[in-house]
Structure 1
Amino acid sequence: MKKVFLVAGARPNLMKVAPIFRASRNLESIECDIVYTGQHYDRQMSQVFFEDLDIAEPKFNMGKSTGTHAEQTGAIMISFEKMCIEHKPDLVVVVGDVNSTLACSVTARKLHIPVAHVEAGLRSGDLDMPEEINRMVTDSISNLFFTTEEHGFDNLLREGKDPASVFQVGNVMIDNLFYNVKRLGDDVTSGYESRPLKEKIGKYAFLTLHRPSNVDCKDVLKGIVSALNKISEKLPILFPIHPRTAKMMEEFSISFSENVHTFPPLSFRESLYLWKDAQVVITDSGGLQEETTALGVPCVTVRENTERPVTVDRGTNVIAGVSEAKILSEVEKAFAKTDDPAPEIPGWDGHAAERIWEILIDYLNRG
């Protein structure tokens, strides 16, 4: 029996580990345990997701949620080192690009434990993004690389990775998406507090906004909110507001118009229930760019770059930047794409996790 640690640190990570963990239930030769570092400690941002995504509560939960980037990363490394020494995993699987991804990959490799990086090779080219540094460092030391699409695969080969260790397996976020779309029956959605509003307003836009570069600068946030308020005059906006965004808006005395309907952070499935039927999604998230592409929902990304260029290549996503005029222009153009079919991307078929396990089992058996 081989022991595998599956590391998750934040809400997007939980969506990525969910299909990998679910697929492990059918493997007799594998003991797979979720290690949750707890970067997001609020129940609405974490615990409810264990239930919502049909995964077990993590066997190991660190609760390392506070402090600066360095303090958080260091605390996770200390706890994870003790955990690895005590439980001796044969392999550590990290996902995405959060501080936990970097901390646990470095710790494992220093203990001579092999590391597999899921969602490897993504690059934005923006070293001002903490996530870009986490991605680059993790990929510099991992043993196995699982990429979501051809750009990530090509990036890793250009950086000198052994082609025999790089595998284009598809996208576990899309595995999770398709799995949960099927679970949105009336028995589930009838209890959603957002359902009456969704049914009442009909057509709407869906918003996520949380990146420090967008919400921590008063002038940037003010311009984005101004654009959103103008958009909402024609199309109501539904926004499960991130705690960071709410805090900064209050601090800067910036407010939304009455046509921007805010909610507390929602569970993954309730959020999906809303955005899957939106006329357009406006976001600064990474994962949502991919998910909207998979369902063919027009997406306008409020950032200057993206580490997920396949979403732009296929025409479902556009990078609008943060200027008010550009956001307004791109959202207007996106309305015309609302009924376009979803593009077909190799490996985005709901079975990436199974392909990952085939490779991992072969690797573990070869020692």
Structure 2
Amino acid sequence: MNAKNVCVISGSRADYNYLKLICEKINKSDKLKLLLIITGMHLLKEYGNTIDLIKNDNIPITKKIPMYEEGDSLSMSLGNVVGETICKFTESFNELKPDIIIILGDRYEPLIAALTATILKIPIAHIHGGDISGTIDETLRHVITKLSHIHFPATPTSAERIRLMGEEEWRIHMFGSTSVDIAKSETLLSKQEVCKKLELDGYKKLILCLQHSNVFESDKAGDQMKITLQVLKDLNLQTVIIYPNNDAGSKLIIKEIENNRMNPNFKIFKNLERRVYFSLLNSVDLLIGNSSGGLIESPMFKLPVVNIGTRNKDRERTENVIDALHDYIDIKNKINKGLSEEFREKCQYLKNPYGDGTASDKIVKFLEELLINEQLLVKKLTYKV
């Protein structure tokens, strides 16, 4: 029996953290053949050439599909980008002939791959569908869900939302978040080792800041980042700052970050290798910003999180998350709350809703046994009118 061609699409450092173990396990399977397509911000020098993270993991890259030009103003060019990239994916899928594609989340890269696969009658497996967040990402995520043939939601609540969209029960398989898998699989550095590697003072409070733009407020992204950084400066907090994704408004955020590069309390990185990043989560006193990873991964590390703004206001979370407005006084108060001994003690008793770290194994085993046939491709609504 020939191995099934499984095409995994990764467009950013964020989704690669969720897909890395799946790629490795597919690559070792006798029943599956890995086809890895790299696209999106992975190929942008100004965002750190995150394709190097994949190369360092020795995972074979089948094809690179350039999507953005260096220096693009994404909000102005996105329509053209989507159209041109659909053409590139069409050529690649016709050449590679995948039996099924795997995509994750809610960015434009998985949407483009899903649209192309639908037109070419290629089955789609979608990870982390059914989530809610509160921004335009939600629209993209739910569109991808309706285009997909197999669903791997991360929580029981997300699985139920997919059922309510009319998806057939046999298509839905809740194994947890693959991000939990990758965090549990890493051999973490000690706090002392992390501080030495990143030139930090291990005796001072340590904050991790990861803030992206909300596409509905992209013109305000710079001012919002400026407020966050001003609070951190005024509180005299040692902070590791990581560049945002390449969403509309990201260049405004990067400008504010770079304006503060000479601040002795700030250490600024375009990217961090995965082991260092998770070790940092295990070492810092608080995470601040609006990263979805902060809500999904932080419970494993009993880490207080200040979640700013509306980008992830509706995302499923545990009691370690404190919501804040893009407001100086509110952010300052919420940081102080998150750093308090009382709140840190509360975080020690968290139960992570995102699974037990076995999702990648279960997904790959499922794909090994999956029948690719007409029944898989022809979708039916479960609700009656």
TM-score (norm 1): 0.86
1:348-363 correspondence runs (5 A): 348-363=355-370
- The share of aligned pairs that are identical, in percent, is 19
Distance 1:357 1:251, change over 3 A: closer
- Once the two structures are superposed, the pairs formed by residues 16-27 of structure 1 within 5 Å of their partners are 16-27=18-29
Q: Conserved in 2, the CA contact under 8 Å of 1:69 and 1:99?
A: no
Deviations 1:143-184 (A, max 9, x none): 11111112211221222222221111101111111112x154
Give the whole-Å Cα distance in 2 for the aligned partners of 1:45 and 1:205.
25
| SS across alignment from 2:43 | coil
Q: What is the CA–CA distance in structure 2 between the aligned matches of 1:308 and 1:194, rounded to whole Å? A: 37
Match of residue 263, structure 1, among 263, 269, 275: 269
CA distance in 2, matches of 1:23, 1:78: 30
* 1:95 and 2:82 correspond: no
Assess, with a 3 A threshold, how the Cα gap between structure 1 residues 183 and 277 changes in structure 2: closer, same or farther: closer
CA offset digits 1:207-266 (Å, max 9, x no partner):
1123255774254333333223233x2x32221344875754647996475433333432
2:378 aligns with none
Contact 2:209 2:240 in 1 (8 A): yes
Q: Matches of residues 207-356 of structure 1 in structure 2 within 5 Å?
A: 207-212=209-214, 216-217=219-220, 218-231=222-235, 233=236, 235-242=237-244, 248=253, 250=255, 255=260, 258-306=264-312, 309-311=315-317, 314-336=318-340, 337-339=343-345, 340-341=347-348, 343-345=350-352, 348-356=355-363
> What is the alpha-carbon distance in structure 1 between the residues aligned to residue 188 and residue 7 of structure 2?
27
Is this contact kept in 2: 1:35–1:59, CA < 8 A? Answer: yes
Contact 1:106/1:141, CA 8 A, preserved across alignment: yes
Question: C-alpha displacement at 1:354, in angstroms?
Answer: 1.1
Of 208-217 and 276-285, deviating more is: 208-217
Whole-angstrom distance in 2 between the partners of 1:122 and 1:13: 15
For the aligned residue pairs, the C-alpha RMSD in angstroms reads 2.9
Deviations 1:278-306 (A, max 9, x none): 11010211123211122211111112252
Distance between the aligned counterparts of 1:283 and 1:151, measured in 2?
A: 24
**C-alpha displacement at 1:8, in angstroms?**
0.7
Shift of 1:106: 0.8
Aligned residues, how many?
355
User: Letter of the aligned partner of 2:183 in structure 1?
Assistant: L
Matches within 5 A, 1:187-206: 195=197, 197-206=199-208
One-letter amino acid of the structure 1 residue matched with residue 297 of structure 2 = E
Q: 1:202 to 1:96 in 2, by over 3 A?
A: same
**Closer, same or farther in 2 for the Cα pair 1:152/1:308, shift >3 Å?**
farther
Deviation larger for 79-88 or 250-259? 250-259
Does the C-alpha gap of structure 1 residues 249 and 170 become closer, same or farther in structure 2, counting only changes over 3 Å? Answer: closer
Q: CA deviation at 1:85?
A: 1.1
Query: Contact 2:150/2:171 (CA < 8 Å) preserved in 1?
Result: yes
With the length of structure 2 as denominator, give the TM-score of the two structures.
Answer: 0.82
Change (3 A) 1:55 1:249: closer
Give the CA deviation at 1:24. 1.4
Q: 1:283 to 1:10 in 2, by over 3 A?
A: same
Distance in 1 of aligned mates of 2:167 and 2:372: 22
SS in 2 for 1:140: helix
Deviation, structure 1 residue 65? 2.2
Q: Which residue of 2 aligns with 1:40?
A: 42
Instruction: From the superposition, tell whether residues 292 and 308 of structure 1 become closer, same or farther in structure 2 (CA, over 3 Å).
Output: farther
Aligned equivalents of 1:51, 1:259: Cα separation in 2: 32
Q: Which residue matches 2:62?
A: 59
* Local SS of the residue matching 1:92: strand
CA distance in 1, matches of 2:357, 2:26: 15
Equivalent position of 2:383 in the other structure: none
**What amino acid is aligned across from residue 210 of structure 1 in structure 2?**
H
Once the two structures are TM-superposed, the CA of residue 75 in structure 1 deviates from its matched residue by 2.4
User: What is the letter of the counterpart of residue 323 of structure 2?
Assistant: I
Residue 168 of structure 2 aligns with which residue? Answer: 162
User: Pick from 156, 173, 181: which aligns with 2:179?
Assistant: 173
